[in-house]
């Protein structure tokens, strides 16, 4: 079987049989891959911290065309990102980002998407606990952009008229972004996007960072992201990690 050597990040892991584990990896060379780590439960020497969520390193994978589950030969960790496990806010934000990759990324190379994922985990891990939600929001919108579903924020999604910089606008999920005043009157169910929120969204889609005023703004942005995902990407299944992150399910447990 061909040996694939690629940069990779652990998105998900679960036990398989009495001795092994299955990992879902985001890879630079082959998109999202499912791999079998033989003997991982029996001994920690072979893989060590490579089995930890969000760990990054160099993976060697034996591949076979048409196979859904390949074999992990080795994983040399270069970054463990223990900070993501040290704070529940960071952990749930990173888990929501992982879920986006697991559900919507494909098994083909997308270097820009992989780089955006790595930057996302680094940003969330490096954020102060009170800023972790903003970092996750920015990261999630950047992934949406790299997946090819970025909403329009500068031109009307219906008539393509330019919307003035610094102005608020109505946002329509079915239309795919902001609307001018004339088109907004003809599209029911649009949501008001104030100037500050519109600028934050523009920045996040481009990979920038914008600090929000308070928790109310964060909640509104989470709701906007959830509704957009449900309209354009979700397939009817619940985004469980996203729900936990949005509603602080861990805090009520």
Domains defined along the chain, listed by start = 3-79 (2.40.50.140), 87-150+191-252 (1.20.1440.120)
CA contacts within 13 A on the Cβ side of 41: 12
Lowest mean pLDDT among 77-86, 90-99, 135-144: 77-86
pLDDT for the residue numbered 46: 65
pLDDT for the residue numbered 44: 62
Bridge partners of residue 35, in order along the sequence: 23, 70
Residue pLDDT, tens place only, 193-233? 999 999 999 999 999 988 776 657 899 999 999 999 999 88
Cα separations in angstroms, 222 against 136, 137, 141, 165, 252: 10, 7, 10, 23, 18
At 189, is the pLDDT very low, low, confident or very high (cuts 50, 70, 90)? confident
Question: Which CB contacts under 8 angstroms, 24+ apart, belong to 38-41?
Answer: 38/71, 38/72, 41/15
pLDDT for the residue numbered 58: 94
pLDDT for the residue numbered 249: 53
pLDDT for the residue numbered 17: 83
Query: Mutual orientation of helices 132-146 and 215-232 as an angle, nearest 10°?
Result: 20
User: Which among 159, 195, 156 has a CA at the least distance from the CA of 172?
Assistant: 156
At 253, is the pLDDT very low, low, confident or very high (cuts 50, 70, 90)? very low
Query: Mutual orientation of helices 195-205 and 215-232 as an angle, nearest 10°?
Result: 60
Average pLDDT (59-78) is 91
Positive or negative, the CA dihedral 80, 83, 86, 87 is negative
Whether the CB-CB separation of 126 and 148 falls below 8 Å is answered with no
At 236, is the pLDDT very low, low, confident or very high (cuts 50, 70, 90)? confident
Average pLDDT (48-55) is 78
Mean pLDDT estimate for the chain: 90
The residue length of the chain stands at 253
pLDDT for the residue numbered 252: 43
pLDDT for the residue numbered 212: 79
CA dist., res. 5 & res. 58, Å (int): 7
pLDDT for the residue numbered 43: 62
- Higher pLDDT pick, 67 / 139: 139
Whether the CB-CB separation of 32 and 85 falls below 8 Å is answered with no
pLDDT for the residue numbered 90: 96
| Distant-in-sequence, close-in-space partners of 86: CB < 8 Å, separation ≥ 6 | none
In what helix (H) or strand (E) does residue 61 lie, and over which residues does it extend? strand 56-62
């Amino acid at each position: 079987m061909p040996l694939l050597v690629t940069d990779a990040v652990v998105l998900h892991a679960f036990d398989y049989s009495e001795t092994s584990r299955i990992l879902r990896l985001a890879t630079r060379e082959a998109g999202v891959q499912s791999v079998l780590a033989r003997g991982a439960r029996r001994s920690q020497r072979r893989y060590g911290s490579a089995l930890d969520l969000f760990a990054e390193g160099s993976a060697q994978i034996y591949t076979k065309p048409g196979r859904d589950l390949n074999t992990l030969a080795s994983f040399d960790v270069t970054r463990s990102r223990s900070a993501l496990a040290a704070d529940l806010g960071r952990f749930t934000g990173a888990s929501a980002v992982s879920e986006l990759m697991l559900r919507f990324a494909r098994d083909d190379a997308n270097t820009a998407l992989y780089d955006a994922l790595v930057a996302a985990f680094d940003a969330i891990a490096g954020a102060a606990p009170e800023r972790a939600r903003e970092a996750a929001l920015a990261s999630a919108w950047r992934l949406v952009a790299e997946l090819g579903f970025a909403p329009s924020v500068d031109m009307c999604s219906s008539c393509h008229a330019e919307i003035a910089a610094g102005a608020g606008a109505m946002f329509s999920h079915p239309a795919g972004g902001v609307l001018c005043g004339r088109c907004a009157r003809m599209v029911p169910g649009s949501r008001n996007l104030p100037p500050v929120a519109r600028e934050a969204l523009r920045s996040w889609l481009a990979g920038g960072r914008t600090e929000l005023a308070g928790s109310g703004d964060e909640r509104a942005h989470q709701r906007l992201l959830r509704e957009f995902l449900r309209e354009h990407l979700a397939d009817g299944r619940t985004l469980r990690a996203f729900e936990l992150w949005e509603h602080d399910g861990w805090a009520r447990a």
